[in-house]
Structure 1
Amino acid sequence: MSEPDPSLMPGQRIRARGASSNHAGRFEAQGRERVEDGWDIAEEERLLRTEIRLERPRSALTYNRSPDLPFDRSVNPYRGCEHGCIYCFARPSHAYLNLSPGLDFETKLVARPGIAEVLAGELRARSYKVATVALGTNTDPYQPCEVEHGLMRQVLKVLSAFHHPTAITTKGTLIERDIDILAPMAARGLLRVGISVTTLHAGLSRRLEPRAPAPERRLQMIRRLSDAGIPVRVMIAPVIPGLTDSELERILAACRAAGAQAASWIVLRLPREVSPLFQDWLAQHVPERAAKVMARVREMHGGQDYDAQWARRMRGEGIWADLVAQRFDKAVARLGLAKQMPPLRCDLFAPPPRAGDQLALF
């Protein structure tokens, strides 16, 4: 019988979550251990629920200088992600909030009301130089809490009004709600969407990405966006060696049939706290494959769980990385999928006039 996890309350019920522990982040000076206080009521609900805190943002745009990313700026309306994907490379960012990259990342979320207004102010700055802004780079902007808060829709209205080039990455079907904004942006050459598909097996997806839409529903989302004239790229992210890599060609074919125009792939990344969380997940859900998966991961990352070097972190290296790359290249060529989408237009960018602006009189 396994020892109780001190990071959880005794008897804590975890349902539809990716992580199974909640250890303190790396910046915490002390660990946390949850214990009974002797006042437990038998009827008390022990189900772990999602909490959403509010943060008034001081800035909206986040800039990066990564040479292996196709964008240099992004906007994230939320911190943490209820989708709970166990492999999510963004989990360690929750440690900066003094929260756990484990269960806290998917249950203690932060919504940032007012981010659209802050963004509009930043776009109006005289020093601002337009380039594609990416949405969904850290956590999914269309996760379930968007239903209540609507921050992504507010951000899109600002970007549309400024005629700003925009790239969205998501698994969330709530993006279909915003087709009325997205389709006109796409028609002006201002928008593209990336849909992440990790596996076509519903059962495996349910365990890997417990609160994300099922694979078949994501294919339907690709179809609906494509039918609306919105260019869609399928993102096989991550490719998990020894677990999902065998599906590469089938995923590409299914997404092409649904209307995807382009495709890309990223190998599994296990930075910082993600590695022990993912290894715990393997031991719990696919123990017979755990050793093989981690052996392949380490072979692709120079013997380590993760290699953070530019160029290598997204693709890996060695024979297994080369084989995945070759299979991908042959499949996209056979299916007629592009590897790059056309650049978005920057020449249309123009701040909209505000009430009271003198130019509005002429």
Structure 2
Amino acid sequence: MDQLQPDPLGTSIKDIAPPRRRGRGALTNAVGRFESQTRDLVDDGWESLGDLPKFETEIRYETARHIITRNDSPDIGFDRSINPYRGCEHGCVYCFARPSHAYLGLSPGLDFESKLTAKTNAAHVLRQELARENYTPKTIALGANTDPYQPIERELRITRNVLEVLADTQHPVGVVTKSSLVQRDIDLLAPMAEKGLARVAMSVTTLDADFARKLEPRATTPQKRIETIRKLSEAGIPTTVLVAPIIPTLNEDEIERILDAAHAAGARSAGYVLLRLPHEIKDLFQEWLLEHRPDRFHRVMNTIRQMHGGKLYDSTWGKRQTGDGVYAWTIGRRFEIATRRLGFEGRGAKLRTDLFLRPSRPGQQLNLF
């Protein structure tokens, strides 16, 4: 198996020229926080920097030993998840999963969106884990870290294969995505939803296509996300709209418009998450803000600090996703008033677990009835 290596070319804004990062979200590619060495790009005066290659998408194929990830976080609504991919080509500069790339010896910057890992045996391992005698079914979140329907899924179909296993075993699943590609799997999700086994959450950050292109360059356009909500809802699949992330003073004025559009398209539950800036994300986001919205830089960053007790991020459970203080409270009340006015139902109904059909294990004697 080939090991992807960090790109040694550049660790600051001036090092990664726009032609090299065209179509990407992050502006830099600083090494991860666990690395003992850093690298700087130095021009030797012969204009050699103009010959450097663009950041092309590379895929590493991984044979996973486990596929269901467990968590005990009290402020999220699930205790297990599946992530078919590491890294995400959507390139959302705010993505809270970016710091996880540092565990691979890669950069949470441009590496995160251009050097991806695909867990090709995910469906096989999932079937094995569901077959264990001590396994108890509860809703699996598909795509809790990186998007299960990012562009490479179109060809690799790992998410599709995972859904087929969940459909065969009648196991509940909640999908989180911002991609219209989820429509491809309506043939699996609709029959599951009819039995109370599936729901989809669509993340909508903005309705402004130009803003979205800068913020999440390779994700589905806002208009297509709303249309996807419509298609899923028409197919009978319970659909949640996630207004996420809310970036104070940058897209918070769209809260009501996003909820209006999603409800008109058929979404009947809603949630929101404030911008989170743990580890390397705080630097990547500030670089992006200086490049694309320099006039808002101080206002945005000062407001974020107001919502986290003077810090850029507070990891305290119960506060990390909603913030604290007057400004955070105001955003929460606006969201609450808008969802009540439209008749949203919170995060949606609980999925069923009583229909679960445990897969047979190799060598296991089959039941006669």
Q: Contact 2:13–2:27 (CA<8 Å) still a contact in 1? A: no
Shift of 1:4: 8.9
8 Å CA contact 2:128–2:361 kept in 1: the answer is no
How do 1:1-362 and structure 2 match up within 5 A?
A: 5=12, 8=15, 13-34=20-41, 46-353=53-360, 358-359=365-366, 362=369
Q: Provide the C-alpha distance between the structure 2 equivalents of 1:305 and 1:162, rounded to a whole number of angstroms.
A: 43
**1:148 CA drift (Å):** 1.6
Deviation digits for residues 294-334 of structure 1 (CA, Å, limit 9, x no counterpart): 01111011110000000010110111111111111110111
Q: In structure 2, the residue corresponding to 1:81 is in which secondary structure?
A: coil
Residue by residue, what CA displacement relative to the aligned partner does 1:166-217 show, whole Å, maximum 9, x if unpaired?
Answer: 0110011111111110101101100111000011111111100000011001
User: AA paired with 2:102?
Assistant: A
The answer on whether the counterparts of 1:7 and 1:33 sit within 8 Å (CA) in structure 2 is: no
Unmatched tracts of structure 2, length 5 or more: 1-9
Q: CA deviation at 1:280?
A: 0.4
TM-score (norm 2): 0.93
**Contact 1:82–1:106 at 8 Å: present in 2 too?**
yes
1:76–1:136 CA contact under 8 A, matched in 2: yes
Amino acid aligned to 2:96: F
Once the two structures are TM-superposed, the CA of residue 152 in structure 1 deviates from its matched residue by 0.1
Give me the whole-angstrom Cα distance separating, in 1, the residues matched to 2:42 and 2:17.
7
Identity of aligned residues (%): 52
Alignment partners' CA distance in 2, 1:44 and 1:291? 36
Q: Is the 8 A contact 1:9 1:34 kept in 2?
A: no
Aligned partners of 1:42 and 1:121: how far apart in 2? 50
- Stretches of structure 1 that go unaligned for 5 or more consecutive residues are none
The 1:30/1:43 distance shift into structure 2, 3 A limit, reads closer
For the Cα contact (< 8 Å) 2:11–2:40, is it kept in 1?
no
Distance 1:164 1:96 in 2: 31
Structure 2 CA distance, aligned partners of 1:43 and 1:243?
A: 34
Length-normalised TM-score, structure 1: 0.94
CA contact (8 A) 2:226 2:261 kept: yes
Name the CA distance, whole Å, in 1 between partners of 2:11 and 2:157.
39
